[in-house]
Structure 1
Amino acid sequence: MIEQIILKRIRLLLLFFIVSLFLSGLTAIPVAPELRWLLKHLPADSMAATLFQIVLEAYLEVQNKYSFLLYGYDWLAFAHFVLAILFIGPYRNPAQNIWVIQFGLIACVLVIPFALIAGYLRGLPLWWRLGDCAFGIIGFAVLWPCYQLIKRLQTIQSFPFSPVQYAWL
């Protein structure tokens, strides 16, 4: 009974994580429409609007002159889709595939220094880099309880009978 409850919680967390990864990948494809939508909904005089306007202009210039560079966005989307597929393993069999969760936790931690360093080198403002760091923090916040639940599930599965059934020994 408790095993089924734990398994259900693990699967809900992983389903959220998988869908989030997939949707995040989808956002890497229609960049120009997304930027236009953002600009339409941000105050025109805000720092964010100014930066997003520059990003849109640069994106459109690259699209017009050097469209092959946008192939990187396609690969970014593809990487998110592949990572989402990777987490189907622990969704199906969490105890056997706990290594995928460990991999995910490590990747989430590494997002933070990568975003801070690469963002700095590319001249991105701190608020943008912190926004990117939030992806690692949120991912970790989803995967950590999942990891703990899998460890608990492994313990339960290693003892096929309840402790009460061992009391007579």
Structure 2
Amino acid sequence: MNERTALIRRIRVCLAIVIAGLAVSGLTAFPLREELALGRQILRGLGVAAFAPEAVGWVDRVGEGLDATAAAFPFIAYGTDWLAFAHLLIAVAFIGPWRDPVRNVFVLQWGLVACAGIIPLAFIAGAIRGLPLGWQLIDISFGVVAAVPLVIALRATRRLEALGTVAREVRPDLAR
């Protein structure tokens, strides 16, 4: 395998990780109440309350809040439907660099900006909304974790660009 092929493969593996993460995040934002009910059962079954009572208490509180909101104001869940849709749409944006990384490098850069933006958002909005610090750190971890494959893909894309790869070498259909 030549260096260009190896770089393209590395970029695509990294993008597959990001796309899959966004798709899972999006799809799991639709059934929040059902997932949280299952999570509560699992936490109780594993006896997590014995060593992490605050975490279990928080999950219970969130579940109660979702249940109460759904009973009184079911239309509020429409907001998380849009959140789910946004995750899926963001995942689609990474198809551009999958097809032609050099030409669409800005998507990788934008993804890294979004990852960085998670940090102040989680700290500021989390504090305003009364989320525990641990939960804010979990949210921040998603941005940190997603940044890793994006940085790897960006570096590989820069190397691919330095090799002088043109679009038709990455995507033969562009040679027409």
Greater RCO (CA < 8 Å, at least 6 residues apart): 2
User: What amino acid sits opposite 2:24 in the alignment?
Assistant: L
- Structure 1 pair 158–44 and aligned structure 2 pair: CA distance change class (3 A): closer
Across the two proteins, how many residue pairs are aligned to each other?
159
Aligned counterpart, 1:97 = 104
Q: Offset at 1:34?
A: 1.1
Q: Which residue of 1 aligns with 2:161?
A: 154
Q: Distance in 1 between matches of 2:13 and 2:125?
A: 33
SS of alignment partner, residue 157 of structure 1 = coil
Question: For each residue in 1:14-66, what CA deviation from the matched residue of structure 2 results, as whole angstroms up to 9, or x when unmatched?
Answer: 01110110001011111112111211222245211111111111101111111
- 1:29 partner SS: coil
Take 1:145 and 1:73, find their aligned partners in 2: how far apart are those partners? Answer: 31
The residue that corresponds to 2:38 in the other structure is 37
Give yes or no for the alignment of 1:76 onto 2:87: no
* Aligned equivalent of 2:7: 6
Q: Alpha-carbon deviations, 1:109-162, whole Å to 9, x = none?
A: 010010011000001010000000001101111100110000000000269xxx
Aligned partner of 2:139 in structure 1 is 132
Deviates more, 1:25-34 or 1:79-88: 25-34
Distance 2:122 2:151 in 1: 21
Gap regions ≥5 residues in structure 1: 160-169
Is residue 102–residue 161 contact of structure 2 (8 Å, CA) maintained in 1? yes
Which residue in the other structure is 1:144 paired with? 151
Query: Could you say what the CA RMSD is over the residues aligned between the two structures, in angstroms?
Result: 1.2
Query: 1:158 & 1:37 partners in 2: Cα distance?
Result: 49
Q: 1:62 aligned to 56, 59, 69, which one?
A: 69
Query: Could you list the runs of 5+ residues in structure 2 that have no partner in the other structure?
Result: 167-176
* 1:21 is the counterpart of 2:22: yes
